[in-house]
Structure 1
Amino acid sequence: MVGLFINTLPVRVTLQPSEPVSTLMKRVQQEQTELLAHQHLGLADIQKAVGLGELFDTVIVFENYPVSLPDTDGPSGELRFTKEDTRSGNHYPLTLAVVPGHQLHLRFDYHGDLFDQATVEALAGRFVRVLEAIAADPDLPVGRIDVLGEAERQQVLVDWNDTAHAVPDVVVPELFEAQVARTPGAVAVVCAGQELTYAELNVRANRLARHLIGLGAGPERLVAVALPRSVDLVVALLAVMKSGAGYVPVDPELPADRIGYMLRDANPLLLVTDSTTATTLPALDGLSVVVDAAETAARIAEQPGTDVRDADRPGTLRAEHPVYVIYTSGSTGRPKGVVIPHQALVNYLARAVEAYPELSGTTVAHASVSFD
């Protein structure tokens, strides 16, 4: 059995005993002609059809044929060309053909439905810059070869990074209270059949914030929050921010050792939790505020529900003060607490309003609050 490639088509030829060469060639021609109906099917398509997926979609071909270039301009006496008409084609989205000769020719072939001319010209420009850099300094490390042109460098380093926007000089509670003023009756939180409007959420957060302030919470101080996914969790997070303190989110489902490390490392002034979660937490040197304990709930309910102002806090709340402390996963060592200031969160929220307008009025199921 002999394998032949004729016009790039693989043909399996089985030699018959005592078969004349002329008969063999006629049979090969006939069998190859019968395959022409399938000659458009590329190798990548064949691989995909048999379940192997696409191997590649870009090809570089160096056409180094073993022929000598003629020394004269005219044809030899034994061979005469009357017409030359060559075409090339391939089944791949992008091909770079390198054709040797008196001068090296580089040809890019591409599918117009996948690439436009400007994109291919940009690719060709980068390739030429690489070749020029190698020719100018063959010992130049690959990492120092610059493939970008001036216009591309401007686009990547300057234009795409020009993300400056005006950011409100406010703290996060002010953004929330402005939303309360716009949509007081709109539903703000939904959990397990319980709903709170923006106005209701604001009142509950204000009362808890004032209670926390009475226990010492304020700007540049930390309050840990260990509550399960619930309406009370959202109330507590807003209350800590309104008090001026930064919250440290603690997922009650984390391992006890991890929770203990976070609480020791952050050293919060207070821990806000509930009676069920409190029994699963390690001991804390600071004070625990069990929000559903009867006495604590009664004291919180006695507080005014009006918005908290700097006059109510131990100090002035500024944009550079911590709004929360998030702990890393610890995959590269011990978890590390990262302090996020109000100005950073305000920046993100202002951007989110512009970037995701379709989310307005929709319901968002948030991940664990200990995930930033």
Structure 2
Amino acid sequence: MEYEKAGLLHEQFVRSAERTPDKLAVVSPEENLTATFSELNTWTNTLAVKLQAMGVWAMTPVAIFVEKGMNFVASYIAILRAGGGYLPIEPSFPEHMLELVLEDSQPAVVITSPELAPRVHNYPSEKILVLEAGWQHYLAKENAEKDLELKKPPLTLDSLAFVAYSSGTTGKPKGILNHLDIDKAQHLQVMEITHSVVDY
């Protein structure tokens, strides 16, 4: 019952952002970047709208193929807000493993960086979203020009939230978690970001 009252993971994050908008949410020392809950709330809403426009909805896997940092955090929250489940792919994966994971999971979108984008060139280009510098601004402008707003997907605590493949993957997921599973696993970053500062 406690988890049901708390709601979905991204809903918990949004409530935290509304309660403490000016509180630091993410610190990324290597990038020398910080973000408040208000900033992260705006960025993830913007990205979630774009993801929905690309076909992401309830129970849709979305791959995150970026280095750990601010964009990684923004991506997984945005995926949850769009209704999907996030699938982190380690940049250290060799090419054959990367292709194996993409082939097996068939993510609706692959979120990546300019540096890593060449490694997913074989995946359909219309399903690749490259987060260029300043994406927060140009995606917000694009969403506004197209009059796009975030729609509320039909999610429950049993809805897909997370898919994981190990570095020694056989091409099958190592773990598939729903919102309730992650909510119970307090150590996961998704839970930490809903309440406190996360170092990335």
TM-score after normalising by structure 2: 0.81
Residues 328/335 of structure 1: CA separation in 2 closer, same or farther (3 Å cut): farther
Divergent runs of 4+, >4 A: 293-297, 360-365
Please give the alpha-carbon distance, in whole angstroms, between the structure 2 residues aligned to 1:203 and 1:296. Answer: 9
Contact 1:207 1:301 in 2 (8 A): no
Radius of gyration: which is bigger?
A: 1
Once superposed, what is the RMSD of the aligned Cα atoms?
2.8
Q: Give the secondary-structure state (helix, strand or coil) at the position aligned to 2:177.
A: strand
The structure showing larger relative contact order (alpha-carbon pairs under 8 Å, at least 6 residues apart) is: 2
Aligned to 1:112: none
> Within 5 A, what are the aligned runs for 1:208-247?
208-247=47-86
1:322 aligns with 2:179: no
Q: Is the 8 A contact 1:212 1:240 kept in 2?
A: yes
Instruction: Tell me by how many angstroms 1:297 deviates.
Output: 6.1
Match of 2:138 in 1: 298
Listed one character per residue, the Cα deviations across residues 53-111 of structure 1 (whole Å, up to 9, x for unaligned) are xxxxxxxxxxxxxxxxxxxxxxxxxxxxxxxxxxxxxxxxxxxxxxxxxxxxxxxxxxx
Aligned residue number for residue 287 of structure 1: 127
SS in 2 for 1:257: helix
In structure 1, how many angstroms separate the alpha carbons of the residues matched to 2:134 and 2:40?
20
- Cα drift, residue 269 of structure 1: 1.0
Q: Per-residue CA shift, 1:325-361, capped at 9, x if unaligned?
A: 011343xx71531221011112223x88xxx9xxx86
Q: Match of 1:287, as an amino acid?
A: K
- Change in Cα spacing, 1:364 to 1:290, as seen in structure 2 (3 Å) is closer
Q: Is the 8 A contact 1:249 1:325 kept in 2?
A: yes
Measure how far apart 1:295 and its partner are.
8.8
- Whether contact under 8 Å (2:27, 2:34) holds in the other structure is yes
Write the distance in 2 (CA, Å) between the matches of 1:250 and 1:363: 20
Where does residue 108 of structure 2 map in the other structure? 269
Deviations 1:244-281 (A, max 9, x none): 01111111121111111111110111111121110133
Decide whether aligned partners of structure 1 residues 297 and 256 sit closer, same or farther in structure 2, where only a CA change above 3 A counts.
farther
Which structure dedicates a bigger proportion of its chain to helix? 2
**Correspondence 1:310-349 to 2 at 5 A:** 312-313=151-152, 315-330=153-168, 334-337=170-173, 338-349=175-186
One-letter code aligned to 1:292: E
- Contact 1:205–1:236 at 8 Å: present in 2 too? yes
Cα gap change, 1:231/1:296 in structure 2, threshold over 3 Å: closer, same or farther? Answer: closer
Aligned counterpart, 2:3: 167
Q: Distance in 2 between matches of 1:321 and 1:362?
A: 26
1:148 corresponds to: none
Q: 1:182 Cα shift?
A: 2.2
- Are the equivalent residues in 2 in contact too, given 1:211–1:303 (CA < 8 A)? yes
Q: Assess, with a 3 A threshold, how the Cα gap between structure 1 residues 273 and 211 changes in structure 2: closer, same or farther.
A: same
Determine helix, strand or coil for the equivalent of 1:275. coil
Query: Contact 2:63 / 2:111 at 8 angstroms: preserved in 1?
Result: yes
2:38 aligned with 1:199 = yes
Q: What is the SS of the residue equivalent to 2:63?
A: strand
Using the alignment, how far apart are the partners of 2:134 and 2:38 within structure 1?
24
3-state SS in 1 of match to 2:87: strand
**Which residue number in structure 2 is paired with residue 152 of structure 1?**
none
Q: Deviations over 1:126-183 (max 9, x none)?
A: xxxxxxxxxxxxxxxxxxxxxxxxxxxxxxxxxxxxxxx7323421101111211222
CA distance in 2 between partners of 1:256 and 1:278 (Å): 13
Q: Does the residue aligned with 1:208 lie in a helix, a strand or coil?
A: helix
Give the aligned residue type for 1:336.
K
Deviation of residue 185 (structure 1)? 0.6
1:282 deviation in Å? 5.3
Structure 1 stretch 284-293 or stretch 335-344: which is displaced more? Answer: 284-293
